[in-house]
Amino acid sequence: MTTDADASLPPSLPLPLEGARVIDIATMLAGPFCATTLGEFGAEVIKVEMPGAGEGTRYSGTMTAAGSSLMWLSESRNKKSITLDLRTPEGVEIFKRLVKTADIVVENFRPGTLEKWGLGYDVLKSVKPDIILVRVSAYGQTGPYRQRPGFARIAHAFAGLSYLAGEPGARPVIPGSTSLADYISGLYSALGALLAYISRGKTGQGQVVDVGLYEGILRMLDDMIPRYAKTGYVRERMGADTVNHVPHSHYKTRDGQWIALACTNDRMWERFCGVMGRPELATGRLAKMNQRIEARDEVNEIASSFIATLDRDDFLALCMKHEVPAGPVNSVAEIFKDPQIAARGNLLEVDLPGEGKVTVPNVVPRLTGTPGSVRTLGPKVGEHSDEIYESLGVGATERAKLRASKVI
């Protein structure tokens, strides 16, 4: 599971989070993805699951013949699994023992749930004064909506992204991945955890990282927030177009394929005019971006008509010659065939006993000195319970009693 780049590095370099212990008690995707990201760069991540069936991601999406979901195998990479019922007094006490050994706890329950179980931040802090608690919830820990449930689809809608997705005047659509907000929230949560971890190294103090599922989406709305505040402008759905640039859209080629074209300034427009063999368009009434925006339909028709005369690969080669940003609108099947994806090692094939070969997205970002890695895929339910509990001083006899009472 190593790449050529990995193999060339000195084996003695520690990963950035080596020695850190993360306790993942979150469910589904946002919180767990935060913990997964930390685990890719060296943290020991202990996944706490309910006794029995385990966490719901195990059964989300495509199932393998061996009984695991591909989502679980991919997004629970590098984790150790233990089972523990945090709703029981015995489970609470064992969890406190685990927290004493930890640096970061990640949860994404509805606000107040940990407090109801007797495991709020004040309790965790009394157990481990410098503990960092990462809390992901639909609307954050404060505000009038804090108790509302939510999923990524709701976050996309609430934060304004779904309003922009779709054709003008038509029904708003899913903005690509239905889990986008989960992944973005997970990344912001991981960033928050790292910042808190760095701060703790300077101050000795832990803290709470509080992320609402919608907030990462809200942060990524271009200039919509300041523009509305300044002018009252509300951006509407524009299909594949974008408000500030044209031609900057998706266009169909002669062979029925789609390409993405990005002419973000007048210089790019001039180059594209060269691609079309129409240099006069770069100096006439369409020379400036504001003129092209005013004539959006006309400019899109000029681009569409030309692109429709060429097959996709021929058009892309012509754009490359003229240094015009363009690329294919890839399906996942085309991603698997692409030489750039292969050269970068973006897809990682893992031979997993009992499952066969499983291909997962590789680690991002790419560090040249201390690169992250995928060491294992999603574990079996409670696979590491004996190892972890033994290290906490919970002996075999006690574990047997706890299993019998379904605490672990």
Kindly list the catalytic residues. 182
The β-bridge relationship of strands 132-137 and 208-212 is parallel
Both structure tokens of 35: 């913990």
What is the edge-to-edge ordering of all strands in the sheet holding 104-107? 79-83, 44-49, 21-24, 104-107, 132-137, 208-212
Both structure tokens of 332: 């996942």
Q: What is the dihedral of CA 317, 322, 328, 334, to 10 degrees?
A: 40
378 neighbors 72 (Cβ within 8 angstroms)? yes
Report the alpha-carbon distance of residue 1 to residue 267 in Å, rounded. 44
Report the alpha-carbon distance of residue 141 to residue 134 in Å, rounded. 11
Q: Which position has the token pair 């092209």?
A: 292
Non-local (6+) Cβ contacts of 327 within 8 A are: 259, 260, 316
Both structure tokens of 73: 């195998």
